[in-house]
Amino acid sequence: MKTALITGATSGIGREFAIQLAKRGYRLVVIGRRVERLEELKEAVDVPVEIIPMDLSKKKECFALLEQLKDENIDVFINNAGFGLAGSFIETDIKKKLA
Ligand SMILES: NC(=O)c1ccc[n+]([C@@H]2O[C@H](COP(=O)([O-])OP(=O)(O)OC[C@H]3O[C@@H](n4cnc5c(N)ncnc54)[C@H](OP(=O)(O)O)[C@@H]3O)[C@@H](O)[C@H]2O)c1
């Protein structure tokens, strides 16, 4: 069985990638901070899902992830975690940018 690693699989495009890859028979390794959403995703698909709760903005956690996955054979990597705000820099919420 092929394996897909998806960062930011708790919502949006990442979650949809996860669902579509599961439909194509991929085993999923999914990453995000909101573990309850990853659990919901696991319930929603019919393939094995490995959940890795992780904050990828923290360097230490990224190195821990590397160690955890070093023996994994990853066939597809969707490096999707991130955030964006629509609008001009001046007008968008500074608190969201600093969060
Ligand atoms: N939507 C657009 O129009 C658009 C346009 C251009 C580019 N993008 C990019 O496409 C990607 C997905 O966008 P989206 O609209 O689907 O966004 P979204 O619904 O906000 O999803 C972002 C995902 O990234 C995860 N994430 C954010 N910060 C994280 C962190 N520090 N550690 C681990 N996971 C983190 C979130 O999970 P948790 O919060 O659970 O950690 C969530 O699963 C983002 O990188 C975004 O910048 C989006």
pTM here is 0.92
- Angle (CA) 60-61-65 rounded to 5° is 120
Question: Distance of alpha carbon 70 from its chain centroid, rounded?
Answer: 17
Domains of the chain: 3-98 (3.40.50.720)
Write the residue with the smallest CA distance to atom 10 of ligand 1: 80
pLDDT digits (tens, 9 = 90+) for 20-77: 999 999 999 999 999 999 999 999 999 999 999 999 999 999 999 999 999 999 999 9
**CA–CA gap between residue 14 and residue 91 (Å, rounded):** 27
φ, ψ of residue 30 to 5 degrees: the values are -120, 140
| Burial class, 10, CB count within 10 angstroms (exposed 0-12 / middle 13-18 / buried 19+) | buried
**CA–CA gap between residue 26 and residue 76 (Å, rounded):** 9
State if residue 78 touches ligand 1 by the CB under 6 angstroms criterion. no
Which residue out of 10, 35, 40, 56 has the highest number of ligand 1 atoms within 8 Å of its CB and is therefore the one to mutate?
Answer: 10
Question: How many angstroms is it from 80 CA to the middle of ligand 1?
Answer: 6
pLDDT digits (tens, 9 = 90+) for 82-97: 988 899 989 999 998 8
